[in-house]
Structure 1
Amino acid sequence: MDWLVKHWFLRLLANVYGLFVLGMFVVLATMDGSFLRRPNEKDKELLKHVQQKYWSLDNKPFGATHQFFKLRNGKRLHYVEKIPSSAAGKKNLIVFIHGFPDSYAVWRKQIASPQLSKDSILVAPDLPCYGGSDEFPSMSAEPVLEALSEFILGMREKYFIDSDPERVIIVTHDWGSVIGFRLAAEAPQLADRFIICSVLHPTLSIANITNRIQTSRRLFSTFLKSPGRNLRLLRTALSNLAPLGTQLERSGYIFAFNLPLPITAWIGRMGDSWFLRLMHRLAFTGKDNLRSSYTPLITPEFSAEAMACSLGPGLGQCTGYAEDYGYPADVARRVPEGGWNTKLRIYRHGLPNKRWEKSLETIVALNQLDGEGSRGPNCKTSENITGRRRSSSNAGRLFDSAPKGALKAPATIVYGLQDPAFDPSVALEGMKEYLSRDSQVVVIDNAGHWVGVEDRSSRTLEGIVSGFLKSDEDGINGLRGLDAASGARVTVDV
């Protein structure tokens, strides 16, 4: 009974804080003149134009073609693919996985990159409930991780069934990086390297929060025994809790997103999608500057591109195609409200921490990769990449003492130090214990949350990805050679 009372009390506190944050949203939207904003005809026409460019199945956005992947459960994922024009030689496979509130189009700079597409097949899916993909009733761990694993396995088979791949790299952002962390920990056979951007590690962040609370509690306890003599302990305890206060403030929107659905739907509609536009402005500026109006900072064209990226296809792109090639019916149903509440399922259904019971098909496919190595069934080399990866995750340990959620595949973790969503202490402290061998943490001083969109950090990310296309050694050497002009540096090197 006590745990039930505690549960409902904590839920009440979370809802109260969520309502407070919602009130702050209203204040900010009012301050920048957006609370009563309504779309004008020019904005509507510009959005339709960009949606046609990004989402018409007849177009080739950034040189890529639209495709659909049918899952075992009958649902379809929309994705774009870009295949090098030269058919000769082996090809790398790079899979880009987006986060909230985006779609494949958030990777437009990487898809358009001549450097990445020269010798690599680029693939960027829309997550379930996003972009042009079907909806899932639940966005919990099992359906989402099963779907993405099945998709990646399908891409490996599609492109490498008759030849050996060079390398498979998975690049992720935001909620796509939550998926990336879990796949690197629970299905490391899927890729030679994971490049994971702009998200808290699900178990590490909880561990950091818990450790700071416990440490401060002990300091407070000692302070109370003799308050007059132990003021320094009080200051230390409060200082130790400061990053948690910062993270609570920066995560406030998550509490608002977990309010009852009618309220969250209103958040999406308020002020002509004000919250989406706020996120787009942060992607453009890379700064946590919520109070200045976004109007002079971004052009109408940029705003339309960002909205088309987040909203997905319009009604004009959902008709006129054969049933097995056109967008799923769910996509057209999402158009009136922009799919806001369906997108929020990713915040509400336990994707970061719920158990993933792999299907028999997934277990068999991953075991086959274990037996073949990550280079596929026709690999002529004696080097078993997956075997090397598995052993590296526990290198130097007599027993496997890795914490829960530790990665078993080489990974490069990328953070922008101006990211308004995270406190660096909560995000990065202790990360080394969660990484396998040949892994790194790269921080970019002048980057915000959307490292793949902001001009300078997107070039840095492109360089990181291209460096690992040849080999881990080349990629690691490239990281160690990052120059001061990029604002990027390696802080952890395992």
Structure 2
Amino acid sequence: MAFTTYLAQVLGLLHGSLTLLYLSYRAWVDGVSQEASISEKTYHDLWDLEDDKHNHNFLSTSTGLQLHYLTNTKTESTKKLVVLLHGFPDSVHVYRHLLASQRLVDSQTKLVALGLPGYGGSDSPENFQASTIMNAMIEAIVKLKTRHLSSEFQKPGSCILLGHDWGGAIAYRLASETEGLVDRVVVLNSLHMPHTKAKVQLHLSKAVTHFSNWRSQPWQNLHDLQAAYTELQPIFMFNLPYPLKTLSLGLQYITQYCHTFLSSSSYAKHVIAAAANGPSEAEATSKTPKGQTYGPSVVARAKSSPSNAWLQRIRIYREGLGRDSWSANNITKEFVSQSQRQVGKEGVFKYPMTIIFGLDDLAFNLDIVLEGLEQFFPAKTAVPGQGSQILRLPGQSHWFFTQARGAEIVEKALLGLLDGNGSGMKAEMKQEVARGEVEIASH
């Protein structure tokens, strides 16, 4: 059994490494320096703080980390608050369609797209370890609630945390490892590590069984070798070594491919790339009307080459944010007691959950990251709210919400969840459900 386990892991590692090498070769052939052709005007439109059309704002954590965020309205206090966390390798501008929603503004809902540390206009942390990022996110949410959610309206259902990709993974951790921080958690196309780990172990176990059968009679049981490879295919990404500088070009190639896939024109591709890159050197020293400016680490990133900026961003994969335990600081311990952390390690959520998943996802295997996730939902009687739901979107991709139609679906979900009557979301999406664009499963 030890030999077959080792063999399964080696083959998974080999599969992943060869894939990354191939992508690096494609990046070298096609050229990954296309970002250099992005006009300064594109960066200016997105990141210049003096032109305040995007409502640029900043907040600082207790460690001095300055985080950048965008809002959908200049109104400071609001009845409802939605905090948006982006993923890798994006920035706050990935939510541009949602931030432009007039319906959410009219419903007195303030959207805050918060930049993750080390991304876009937010300061780079010393490390991307779980304690650093989790404490920073909790502190930021507390400050945003204090700053933007009127105390008279701080009632159940008034604050939602929404995350995509790595922002979704952080949201999942906050949902299972804190209490009383927000009222609901919404996740778009991401993975919950305890669930994913269990699914990966199941696939490995099946692969080991097939390898054992193949070893007993190699020529007669070739079908078992093929079956083992099939089990390992969706999990090779979890067995890769730490990204190397040369191989990081392969990951960048994937991102550029996705930018091309999402873009309706060359200009749109450049906008998406500039949004992901963060401020250029010209914008990094600009100031808001209030005199705020980007932190020195953002300026340093702006002056670095694209490859160095890329290596900074991939640290989010490398330093234990998704899997390691973490310790609360003096500010966050109110929401994270020792007993809560122990329960949280099992992955059971403490808040009502809404999972919205585009089923044509190139990044994730659906069996590993989505199927069976409802076992981690809290009982309806255990938390206030409208219960939990999984929304499956046939034909939608990993970044579905960056398109106008996908953003409209998320907009309707938020409006329904914030209306407080318990049936608003299904009413909002009645037409989408009838057309087969959305499948809603309540739990």
Please list the CA deviations of residues 105-144 of structure 1 after superposition, one character each: whole Å capped at 9, or x if unmatched.
Answer: 0000000011122211111111100001110121111110
In structure 2, relative to structure 1, the CA distance for the partners of 1:318 and 1:225 (3 Å cut) is closer
Residue of structure 2 aligned with 1:326, choices 286, 293, 299: 293
**Conserved 8 A contact 1:99-1:175:** yes
In structure 2, relative to structure 1, the CA distance for the partners of 1:458 and 1:12 (3 Å cut) is same
> Does residue 310 in structure 1 map to residue 276 in structure 2?
yes
| Percent identical residues | 24
Matches within 5 A, 1:345-384: 345-364=315-334
Report the counterpart of residue 280 of structure 1 in structure 2.
259
Residue of structure 2 aligned with 1:342, choices 302, 312, 320: 312
Mind listing any 5+ residue stretches in structure 1 that lack a counterpart? 285-297, 368-389, 391-399
Matches of 2:428 and 2:350, distance apart in 1 = 21
In structure 2, relative to structure 1, the CA distance for the partners of 1:196 and 1:25 (3 Å cut) is same
Question: What letter corresponds to residue 489 of structure 1 in structure 2?
Answer: E
Could you tell me how far 1:224 is from its partner in structure 2? Answer: 7.9
Residue of structure 2 aligned with 1:180, choices 171, 174, 177: 171
Report the counterpart of residue 384 of structure 2 in structure 1.
none
**Conserved 8 A contact 1:403-1:434:** no
Matches of 2:151 and 2:215, distance apart in 1 = 70
Residue of structure 2 aligned with 1:426, choices 356, 368, 392: 368
Please list the CA deviations of residues 385-436 of structure 1 after superposition, one character each: whole Å capped at 9, or x if unmatched.
Answer: xxxxx9xxxxxxxxx9998112111111121111001111111232121112
In structure 2, relative to structure 1, the CA distance for the partners of 1:110 and 1:320 (3 Å cut) is closer
> Does residue 121 in structure 1 map to residue 98 in structure 2?
no
Report the counterpart of residue 86 of structure 2 in structure 1.
98
Specify the SS of the correspondent of 2:187. Answer: strand
**Conserved 8 A contact 2:25-2:250:** no
> Does residue 163 in structure 1 map to residue 152 in structure 2?
yes
**Conserved 8 A contact 1:26-1:35:** no
**Conserved 8 A contact 1:451-1:457:** yes
Question: What letter corresponds to residue 466 of structure 1 in structure 2?
Answer: L
In structure 2, relative to structure 1, the CA distance for the partners of 1:69 and 1:13 (3 Å cut) is farther
Specify the SS of the correspondent of 2:240. Answer: helix
* Count of paired positions: 424
Matches of 2:14 and 2:204, distance apart in 1 = 22
Question: What letter corresponds to residue 104 of structure 1 in structure 2?
Answer: V
Could you tell me how far 1:24 is from its partner in structure 2? Answer: 1.2
Question: What letter corresponds to residue 103 of structure 1 in structure 2?
Answer: S
**Conserved 8 A contact 1:101-1:343:** yes
Could you tell me how far 1:91 is from its partner in structure 2? Answer: 1.2
> Does residue 255 in structure 1 map to residue 240 in structure 2?
yes
Report the counterpart of residue 291 of structure 1 in structure 2.
none
TM-score (norm: length of structure 2) = 0.83
Residue of structure 1 aligned with 2:199, choices 176, 193, 208: 208
**Conserved 8 A contact 1:456-1:486:** no
Report the counterpart of residue 450 of structure 1 in structure 2.
399
**Conserved 8 A contact 2:91-2:275:** yes
**Conserved 8 A contact 2:56-2:68:** yes
In structure 2, relative to structure 1, the CA distance for the partners of 1:112 and 1:355 (3 Å cut) is same
> Does residue 412 in structure 1 map to residue 402 in structure 2?
no
Mind listing any 5+ residue stretches in structure 2 that lack a counterpart? 381-386
Question: What letter corresponds to residue 263 of structure 1 in structure 2?
Answer: T
Residue of structure 1 aligned with 2:422, choices 473, 476, 488: 473
**Conserved 8 A contact 1:189-1:366:** no
**Conserved 8 A contact 2:168-2:187:** yes
Question: What letter corresponds to residue 23 of structure 2 in structure 1?
Answer: F
Could you tell me how far 1:85 is from its partner in structure 2? Answer: 5.7
Report the counterpart of residue 26 of structure 2 in structure 1.
28
Question: What letter corresponds to residue 185 of structure 2 in structure 1?
Answer: F
Matches of 2:235 and 2:146, distance apart in 1 = 41
Report the counterpart of residue 122 of structure 2 in structure 1.
133
Q: Which moved more, 1:12-21 or 1:451-460?
A: 12-21
Could you tell me how far 1:84 is from its partner in structure 2? Answer: 6.7
In structure 2, relative to structure 1, the CA distance for the partners of 1:324 and 1:94 (3 Å cut) is same
Matches within 5 A, 1:290-309: 298-309=264-275
Matches within 5 A, 1:235-274: 242=230, 244-248=232-236, 251=237, 255=240, 258-260=242-244, 262-264=245-247, 266-267=249-250, 274=253
In structure 2, relative to structure 1, the CA distance for the partners of 1:478 and 1:342 (3 Å cut) is farther
Larger Rg: 1
Matches of 2:7 and 2:209, distance apart in 1 = 24
Cα RMSD (Å): 3.7
**Conserved 8 A contact 1:84-1:121:** no
Matches of 2:253 and 2:361, distance apart in 1 = 20
Matches of 1:453 and 1:147, distance apart in 2 = 26
Report the counterpart of residue 485 of structure 1 in structure 2.
435
Matches of 2:434 and 2:230, distance apart in 1 = 30
Please list the CA deviations of residues 282-330 of structure 1 after superposition, one character each: whole Å capped at 9, or x if unmatched.
Answer: 334xxxxxxxxxxxxx422101210111001111112254997110111
Q: Which moved more, 1:213-222 or 1:440-449?
A: 213-222
**Conserved 8 A contact 1:213-1:241:** no
Residue of structure 2 aligned with 1:60, choices 24, 48, 52: 52
Please list the CA deviations of residues 445-472 of structure 1 after superposition, one character each: whole Å capped at 9, or x if unmatched.
Answer: 1111002113332221221112111126
Matches of 1:184 and 1:446, distance apart in 2 = 28
Matches of 1:85 and 1:158, distance apart in 2 = 11
Matches of 1:25 and 1:222, distance apart in 2 = 33
Matches of 1:320 and 1:456, distance apart in 2 = 34
> Does residue 107 in structure 1 map to residue 107 in structure 2?
no
Question: What letter corresponds to residue 357 of structure 1 in structure 2?
Answer: S
Q: Which moved more, 1:113-122 or 1:480-489?
A: 480-489
In structure 2, relative to structure 1, the CA distance for the partners of 1:474 and 1:216 (3 Å cut) is same
Report the counterpart of residue 413 of structure 2 in structure 1.
464
Matches of 2:424 and 2:316, distance apart in 1 = 32
